[in-house]
Structure 1
Amino acid sequence: MHVASRRFALSLLLSASLFSGCSEDSQTPHEGPATESKCPAVTGAVIEHQGIVSTSETWAAGSPHVITSNLTIRGQVTVEACATVRLAKATSIQVDSGGVLRAEGKQDQVVRFEPHADWPWGQLLIGTGGSARLEWTVLSGGGLSTTMDSIVRVNAGAELPGPRPLFVNHVTIEDSLGPGIILNGTAGFAEGSSDLTIRGTGGEFGRQPLVINPNALGTLPSGTYTGNLEDAIHIGPSIAAASVFYLGSSATLKNLGVPYQVQGLQVGGPGASATLTIEAGTELRFEPETTLRVYDGASALIVAGTPSSPVIFTSNVRNHRPGDWTGIRFDGMNAANRLESAVVRYAGGPCQCSSFGCNYLPPGFDVSSAILVFDEPTSPFIANSRIEDSAGHGILRGWNGSDLSLATSTTFARIAECTETMPKDRDGRCPSETPVCPRSP
């Protein structure tokens, strides 16, 4: 499909999209930064590239640089300001271990990577050990619709902390047939990355501008992520390394103006502690039967909402129902845990746990709840929050110990069972007669 046809098809999809997470904002592309180009016309003789680059090369402006077949970089390629790189149909650039790609654009002298002869190209693949530094650069018209290929993909292994091989500064990615950027393994953006714009992207195998592993969360740059098939950032263990599917180091989840679509998220893991801080105004939408889990007492969750800008945890199902997702689960208790001005909606799905606390759901020992706490806290850590539409309890107090309430400043609406269950005593016993639990309106 030619680029013009592809853009027209994408605009139709944006206008008629029925995917979950879409909104009116997702149907309106945003313009990039207004910049008057001072680049000369691209009129020189074509310079072709293919095969393997194992030494240092500099690609200058003036003549078009055409990549006729897949190119592998094992040395350093520097693309000067105003240079235009055109890639043949389905052709990709791979930066291997030890390889470096530098695109050195300037505000009024951008570097461009674009299709050759109007056919979509493949992707810029940064392999394990490779790196790319992109400044004032536009990458357009890539990605392959038959796979989950994006315009930029970063591969990595399972090391912690993860590698940060991709630096972006005033970079625009547009018109991808898949996601804009995919970050595999434990990879993330390099420190100092900022001003990333992704627009006009999305296809059958990936609708979001960013598809990332959990260890990329704290590295995401500021920017604009609207005007795509689905305006959301996808977080998935399936994008991560198989052995490190969890967040293994501390990170701040920024409010980037679009929701996060979460395919389950675990904070901390075996031998790896982490603290996840979530900024005010952030919205997380969870896939069915998934959980936000704090692995143990060495890890923590800090929700930093405000009354006017709460943090929202909700379902990613289009027709929301109680129990769509499991809820927020604390398997250990850290003194740093804090849920301030949080809203938890449509949780309380099956938690694969039972017999904790005392107010079981009929007919047995089900303890499904929107918030599940399995270790006794030293003080209330949930404040000024709201729990709505739980298919089970609101808050499970699933420890053995004191009757410390976690609901003193929390409001509830449409909770199927108890708003807050009773914990067992220190000997692990419930009252001989199950106490009547508080109920929501």
Structure 2
Amino acid sequence: MNSVLIAILIMVVLSLCKLNVILALFIGAIAGGLIAGMNLNEVITVFTGGIVQGSEIALSYALLGGFAALIAYSGITDILVDKILSILQRNQTKKARVIAKISIVLALLIIAMMSQNLVPVHIAFIPILIPPLISLFNELEIDRRLLAIVLTFGLTFTYAIVPFGYGQIFQNTIVKSFSNAGVEISFQDVAPNMLIPVSGFIFGLIIATWYFRKSRKYIDKESELATKKIRVSASTIVTAIIAIIVTFTVQFYTDSMIFGALGGIMIFFLSFRFKWSELDTELVNGIKIMAYIGMVMLAANGFAGVINETGDVTPLVNSISDILGDNKAFIVLGMMIVGLVVTMGIGSSFATLPIIAAIFVPMGAELGLSMSAIIAIVGTAGVLGDAGSPASDSTLGPTAGLNVDGQHDHIWDTCVPTFIFLNIPVVITGFIAGMIL
């Protein structure tokens, strides 16, 4: 049995059975490593090394959680939420509520898409923007599974097709991966050949919007953010706005969520508009909230490290190729499935591309596929799994924001819906692209 496949299946099944994701990742890594012939000490060493590599993103989540708590503490989001709620209370018609729900979903979609290119902050906006809006989502009875799909769509669809910001990084990675496989393509070749595959994201989002259109009730309980409120004033609002601007500006120029969050946090402390003791309390509370997500990211990096160390990704592809024979349709579908499985395990499409391109490029050429088809297959196989993986920041980010009151399950409310409504349609459109291009 292939160790990579076994490790990922164990991790996914245990997660679906509601075992803690961190434990599922650890057990899956141990099982995969042992099956691959590694001894227990080797597995632990590689897993630990992967954890070290994920420390930056984990610290980023923690600091962004603290910054989100300070934003909530300032009261700036309360003004926005209270304003919208007062409008809804004055106009209790069904039409007004529907318009409000549509407006919020569209706004989140646009913001999520902008986070990949126009203002490339990636997931940094989620723990800042989403938690303070939870009470508004509850009032409108918006199904948070739809919001998870909307956020994940914006995080994945955009970089797969738009050649700016993170999209430029993703598409450049494809070009470099092809070059490492001995084939030269230009940057301009990537986006046009991804048009058909990414259309699956659009179809999936439309279907999800219809499927989750009905109201879903949530218990209106206090969020863990901002356990203590202050009297909102013009000066506190200005301080919060400046802190937000500084956070995104610093991250934009340093490409570091850590220093971006630190910049915003320091604005609060150096403004002298708040008591430092109270700021410190809120900061610690916010860090605690996001600490679990950071721990999952650390475990996910350790899991990915073990998967890479087994060296069984290539045998997995070769075994599927041997089983399917020379049938073009089966081979292309097999490539899609392998990309989905590998990315689900590693949790990052960017890290998956170099691995699968080294295998898929020569395989596609031997099969007689056009270069356009091979680009589409590699790009699709890379992006698959990012939306749906328990270890992906494209799913962990939305969960971090939507579960701030403990009513949004990472696996069943984020990973399963995004897998069904985003990954499955992209498998279909990616297969079509591989067959007709």
Q: TM-score, normalised by structure 1?
A: 0.21
Question: Greater Rg, structure 1 or structure 2?
Answer: 1
Higher strand share: 1
Structure with higher RCO (Cα < 8 A, 6+ apart):
2
Higher helix share: 2
